[in-house]
Amino acid sequence: MQWDPDRALQVRMAVAISLLALLPLAFVYTLSWTITHIIVPLAEVLFETRIDWQLTVSLPVIFVLTVCGLGVQYLFADRLALHSVGAKRVTPEDYPNLHTRLRRLSQQVDLAAPKLAISPSSVPNAFATGRSQSAATVVVTQGLLDTLDGDELNAVLAHELAHVKNRDAVVMSVAYVLPSFTYVVAVAAYTLLGGLWDVVGHFHHSDSDDIRPLLAVIVLFVVSAVLTILISAIFWIGSFLLFRLLSQYREQAADRGAANITGNPLALASALATIDETIPTIPDRDLRELDGGIEALYLAPLDTPMFTDGDDALISRDLFPESHPSTDERISYLRGLAADQEVAG
């Protein structure tokens, strides 16, 4: 069939790729400026000495490291995604019906049939990953195969093929580099800051003359950790917002693509409704196991707490746009497409 590329999605992906190259440079430069102009002067005051040192950053070196990091993510993102959810690639002999469906739908949009992988999770969901159209993998969960069949299953596979055709799966995989890196930096600083209380307790009964240098170290450490957390949080929020907004639009584009591929928008609407009704019945433990840091890649959102278990979430979900449009909004849009098809017919 004739596939018209989504120009708006292509523009968004181009902007995302550009920012991916610039934001890491800004992040490292901001950290280095903070160390030179805040941390070092503070150390001079606390220890009453002159420190003739400043951290210099070579932007070309940081740019090369950033490109290398993105390159590694580009090459191995699909393997990491499969490993994170325990998915294994399967052959046509293992799942002949599923391979036949995927191959037939791929032929309709002039794509080589992607590899197929199965995750043992009981959560009904699917995603596509891979560094190119010819090296793509469509992942479906065992829960999806147990929940959907017929036209609904075809519609889900078509949705993932639309991601492959739009080439947005690789952009989303690579786009998560900066949010992940800045979050790791912030959590490391937060963890070290929490461990500081053990050091303070250890020296609680020390003489005042002995504890004075320790207090200076503690103050320097606390200020450094807090500034690191704040800077990391700022860049994490910015990159994560970019990631989420791109994720929302790409899901809308894939819904349109699935409707075009199957010619049956109501099948995907029905599949989304079924999945939306099933996921709340799944234990939270199973949902967290399926996340693996790739929630935005899924057909349907998991709605799990961010970065922690239970109610004690490190960051509230309410601060950010959702990774997906609401299911009701998607179903309403697909029903509108079906109505347009009926009128055109």
Of 186, 31, 167, 162, the residue nearest 105 (C-alpha): 162
Residuewise pLDDT in 10s, the chain (345 residues): 556 667 788 888 888 777 766 777 788 788 888 888 888 888 888 877 887 776 676 778 777 877 777 777 778 878 888 888 899 999 999 999 999 999 999 999 999 999 999 999 999 999 999 888 888 999 999 999 999 999 999 999 999 999 999 888 777 767 666 666 666 676 676 666 666 555 555 555 555 555 677 777 778 788 888 888 888 778 777 777 777 778 888 899 999 999 999 999 999 999 999 999 998 888 877 777 776 667 778 898 876 544 444 444 445 455 566 778 899 999 999 999 999 988 886
Residue type (1 letter), 344: A
Residues 6+ apart with CB under 8 A from 152: 267, 268, 270, 271, 274
The CB density around residue 112, as the number of other CB atoms within 10 Å, is 13
pLDDT for the residue numbered 130: 87
pLDDT for the residue numbered 324: 86
Kindly list the catalytic residues: 160
- Domain assignment present for 79: yes
What's the order of all strands across the beta sheet hosting 137-141?
88-90, 115-119, 137-141, 126-129
pLDDT for the residue numbered 93: 95
Q: Cα(343)–Cα(345) distance, rounded to whole angstroms?
A: 5
Q: Tell me the residue range of the domain where 316 lies.
A: 7-344
- Domain assignment present for 2: no
- Domain assignment present for 327: yes
Q: Cα(13)–Cα(20) distance, rounded to whole angstroms?
A: 10
SS3 228: helix
Tell how strand 137-141 and strand 115-119 pair up.
Answer: parallel
For 233-254, letters b (16+ CB in 10 Å) and e give bebbebbbebbbebbbbbbbbb
pLDDT for the residue numbered 10: 81
Burial degree of 13 (CB within 10 A; 0-12, 13-18, 19+):
buried
- Domain assignment present for 86: yes
pTM of the full predicted structure?
A: 0.76
The CB density around residue 315, as the number of other CB atoms within 10 Å, is 17
pLDDT for the residue numbered 182: 67
Residues 6+ apart with CB under 8 A from 198: none
Burial degree of 201 (CB within 10 A; 0-12, 13-18, 19+):
exposed
- Domain assignment present for 282: yes
- Domain assignment present for 33: yes
pLDDT for the residue numbered 309: 44
- Domain assignment present for 1: no
Domain count, the chain: 1
